[in-house]
Amino acid sequence: MAFLTNKLLFIAFFILIIHCIETLAYAVRLSGARVKLIASSLSLFSMMVIVSRMANMMQQPFTGSLIDTAGPLNTLQIVENQYRFLIGASTVGTVFGMILLPTFTALFSRTIILLANERGSVLSVIKRSFSLSFLKQGSKHIHLPKISYLRGIGLKTIPMRLFVINIIVTAIYTIGVLSALYASLLAPNRAGATIMASGLINGIATILLALFIDPKISVLADDVVNGKGSYLKLKSISVFMITGRLIGTIAAQLLFIPGATYIAWLTKFIV
């Protein structure tokens, strides 16, 4: 059986969109600091996170079904190739998010202002967003990123520990489900335990994100609004955090099999 199937391409496209959305979530704080509406921007940020998490949950059954359709011959190799292809899709999605960052920073700024004007009514924002005038004005902000966008960004403003943590968390989040599913092939007698471990792994990654990364960037955004910090520093850290996400998805290729092996070993103490 060839590893590249229509189902695999569909799942890969889904994962690409998920990681693109999660990458663009960094643009929300930039937009909120730009228009000085942090609370409204966090509301938009929360909506984007919910959408990406829900989409991630929706694709999990399809991803798991790849094991069922792999066939009895060379199952491990076929599934490994398919899952590495999906990890590659997460990298491509992150790259698309990086390319679209300047455009969506501008678009999110208009959306945050609209959300504030509509007194937090999401349905009204959605309705207005699809109006002809809004789409026409929004199209003016669509442009490819330029080198000038990176002007003034330097390594001196970047907390390296935060950068490294972001890489690790992204790598864990990227392979959490895939490694757990693959571990069910390595330990078929403990398949149920290994598959359910994916929720625990992603939960730990989400907690690490909430503890170490989100608060830091939120405080920097508040400093910009209160005049205590510079927008350039916030943009610098956001760009490097996105770069960390990209490196994390690439590092996930290296951690995929070791992660699956570790999960398979760990479940021996559960079953």
Q: How far is residue 143's CA from residue 100's CA, in Å, rounded to a whole number?
A: 8
How many CB atoms neighbour CB 232 within 10 A? 14
6, 60, 118, 202, 242 from 54: Cα distances, Å:
22, 10, 25, 13, 21
Q: How far is residue 181's CA from residue 83's CA, in Å, rounded to a whole number?
A: 10
> How many residues are listed for the chain in this entry?
271
Q: What is the pLDDT of residue 134?
A: 67
Q: pLDDT-derived band of residue 148, with 50, 70 and 90 as boundaries?
A: low
**Maximum mean pLDDT: which of 37-41, 87-91, 240-244:** 87-91
Amino acid at residue number 129: S
- Rounded to an integer, the average pLDDT of 113-131 is 72
Q: pLDDT-derived band of residue 254, with 50, 70 and 90 as boundaries?
A: very high
Q: pLDDT-derived band of residue 2, with 50, 70 and 90 as boundaries?
A: low
pLDDT > 70? residue 139: no
Q: What is the pLDDT of residue 96?
A: 93
Mean pLDDT, the chain, rounded, equals 82
Q: Is the dihedral of CA 220, 223, 228, 234 positive or negative?
A: positive
Least confident of 13-27, 150-164, 179-193: 150-164
Q: What is the pLDDT of residue 82?
A: 93
pLDDT > 70? residue 152: no
For 144, left (φ over 0), alpha (ψ -120 to 50), or beta?
beta
Q: Which residue has the higher pLDDT, 89 or 196?
A: 89
| DSSP code for 131 | S
Least confident of 40-49, 82-91, 99-108: 40-49
The torsion of the CA quartet 137, 140, 141, 147, rounded to 10 degrees, works out to: -170
Question: What pLDDT digit, counting tens, does each position of 206-243 carry?
Answer: 787 778 777 777 787 778 878 787 777 888 888 888 99
Least confident of 46-60, 65-79, 80-94, 125-139: 125-139
Q: What is the pLDDT of residue 163?
A: 87
pLDDT > 70? residue 120: no
Q: How far is residue 219's CA from residue 212's CA, in Å, rounded to a whole number?
A: 12
pLDDT > 90? residue 255: yes
47, 57, 121 from 53: Cα distances, Å:
10, 6, 22
Based on C-alpha coordinates, what's the Rg of the chain?
Answer: 20
Q: What is the pLDDT of residue 252?
A: 94
Amino acid at residue number 94: T
Least confident of 41-50, 57-66, 75-84, 259-268: 41-50
35, 69, 102, 121, 238 from 150: Cα distances, Å:
20, 46, 10, 34, 11
- Rounded to an integer, the average pLDDT of 88-108 is 89
